Amino acid sequence: MRFYTKTHKHYCGIDLHARKMFICIIDGEGKVLVHRNINCNPDEFLRIIAPYREGLVVGVECMFAWYWLFDLCRKEQIEFALGHALYMKAIHGGKAKSDKIDAHKIAALLRGGTFPIAYGYPPEMRATRDLMRRRNFMVRKRAELIAHIQNTATQYNLPELGFNLACESNRHEAAELFHDPEVRKIIDIDIAMIDSYDDALKILELDIEKTAKKHDKHALLLLRSILGIGPILSLVLLYEIHDINRFETVQQFASYCRLVKCAHESAGKKKGTGGAKIGNAHLKWAFSEATILFIRYNAPAKKMVEDLAKIHGKGKAISILSHKLARAIYHMLKSNKPFDRDKFFATA
């Protein structure tokens, strides 16, 4: 875990909410200079911190509404630190808890060099990343509708559907299998919603693809040099990683992708593992999908997983390959070189 360790003349801790923000400013000795609750208004915020802008750092716990404050501080050239929510246990503990107390604790963590920092994603690619996440959300909802049609067929003891519901023409054939008019209405609603999702997704994916080529076309091509990583997975990886140089080591990158287990030890005894939910869930999903497709389209990968499964089991074998694939992508993006299949399997 990385901590904010820079020293400043003033430290500003903010307990941020959607409409309100509690501000606490302390000096280098810990003396409270400002402690008040205000509206989430940029002008009001700048007015309050104006007397203390010299040598000021602003710290905020990561929550859904931090974008505007990060962008404002960046524009005004004010040092900003985004706090990692899952690591900021210090502000959630204690006998009493309030916005006022939390703001002071955030400022104190900044001053003490124990403020855990998260990555402040810059605005240039942030909106497209959020759009890509929304696209994946819509795909999952579409899959739920397809599953509902299949489950309804099972519910009414109909024969197993012998066609793919992802195809538009097949979906309308499925509606004709249900004789009850009320049940057919349910299926018609599902089909209409799936059709709407299909139309929206086609436009959305085309727009994201065009934008991605403007952001970093070279990185996109590097990612697609891996057999199994197609247009969608490459876009997810591109926007979730953003800049590979923000990871100093390959171990940090693998940990961020949730591909390693962190051991818990005390007094020389192992207490198991933890931290499974600390990292990027979208990258974890992307690497899980990429690994399965990589095995499908690469015979040596399939053999490698079979050999590892004899020792570790199938699940652990796939996890090992996911970790190795992440390490390969890290070095690819660092060196700006496409995927070397022979080298990958030579070191497997």
Residues 121-170: pLDDT tens digits? 999 999 999 999 999 999 999 999 999 999 998 998 888 887 888 888 78
State the sign of the Cα–Cα–Cα–Cα dihedral 305, 310, 315, 320.
negative
Q: What is the mean pLDDT of the chain?
A: 92
Tokens linked to 299: 């015979």
Q: What pLDDT is attached to residue 348?
A: 64
Confidence band, pLDDT 50/70/90 cuts, at residue 336: very high
Q: Which amino acid is at 211?
A: T
Residues ≥6 apart with Cβ < 8 Å to 120: 66, 70, 80, 82
- Global pTM? 0.90
Confidence band, pLDDT 50/70/90 cuts, at residue 172: confident
- 269-317 pLDDT, tens per residue? 887 787 777 899 999 999 999 999 999 999 999 999 999 999 999 999 9
Q: d(Cα 85, Cα 107) in Å, to the nearest integer?
A: 15
Q: d(Cα 228, Cα 303) in Å, to the nearest integer?
A: 16
Arithmetic mean of pLDDT, 57-63:
95
Q: What pLDDT is attached to residue 142?
A: 96
- The H or E element containing residue 42 is helix 42-49
For residue 109, which of 1, 36, 37 has the smallest C-alpha distance? 1
Window from 72-76, 176-180, 324-328 with minimum mean pLDDT: 176-180
